[in-house]
Amino acid sequence: MSSDFLEKLSECVEFGKINLASPYPPQMKGLPGADEITREALQAGVTPTEILNDALIVAMNKVGQKFSENKIFVPQMLLSAKAMSASMVHLKPYFASGAVQRRGIFIIGTVFGDLHDIGKNLFAMMVEGAGWEVIDLGIDVKTEKFVEAVERYPNAVVGISALLTTTMVNMKPVIEAVKSAVPGTKIIVGGAPLSAEFAVSIGADGYGKNPQEGIMLLDKISD
């Protein structure tokens, strides 16, 4: 019974079926989506931990893998992430009560001066789908806001995003301020104009070329 729910939910997330109303994917039109199935699963006694570990994380891993192999593209990945978020809404009370443990806290934001968010949003959703609690600080995030967030969550890993060559240089002062406020904080960076060499040069602990690489990096540096 439990495995039926988990299998259906995993399928909804993998193929981006958000809820009953969503017409996507066409082969699942008119069927319940991640929203309804999660609610039913919880009512039927499936535990939130099973939902997180055996459906959402499994599905998002497959999504990340397919994306890195160019079998799906950004729209499909975003729809999967939206389906996962629709399920996650029902799990939030269990996270808050401590009934379900996350893998860690991940603070993310687009660096100050930069208003772009598609890469940041995509990665944040993938990280959440990998079992992390995500604190999304938004776009154009000032250094002080990053510092405040790590002071509040001192064990968190920080992710900084930039799309512009003119703003990627702003990452360095953020990294310096965060590491000075909470020494030992791990920081990863990403964004179209960046490279692994640049990440090293500004003192970041890692660089993710794509979301899947970023998740693997996150798992590695947080172990």
- Positions in the binding site for another protein (CB under 8 A): 16, 18, 22-25, 70, 72-76, 78-79, 82, 113-118, 121-122, 164-167, 193, 195, 198
CB of 66 to another protein, least distance (A): 12
Handedness of CA 25, 67, 125, 161 (dihedral sign): negative
Residues contacting residue 39 through CB under 8 Å, at least 6 positions apart = 90
Rank residues 110 and 185 by Cβ distance to another protein and give the closer one: 110
Q: Which is nearer to another protein, 42 or 125 (CB)?
A: 125
Q: At what angle do helices 57-68 and 118-129 cross, to 10 degrees?
A: 140
In angstroms, give the least distance from the CB of 14 to another protein.
Answer: 15
Strands (DSSP E) contained in the chain are 105-110, 133-136, 157-161, 187-190, 206-207
Closest CB to another protein among residues 164, 181: 164
Least distance between another protein and beta carbon 189 (Å) = 14
For 41-156, where are the E strands, in sequence order? Answer: 105-110, 133-136
Considering the complex, state which of residue 23 and residue 98 has its C-beta at the smaller distance from another protein.
23
Closest distance of CB 181 from another protein, Å:
27
Task: Write the CA distances from 172 to 57, 79, 94, 180, 203, integer angstroms.
Answer: 32, 33, 37, 12, 7
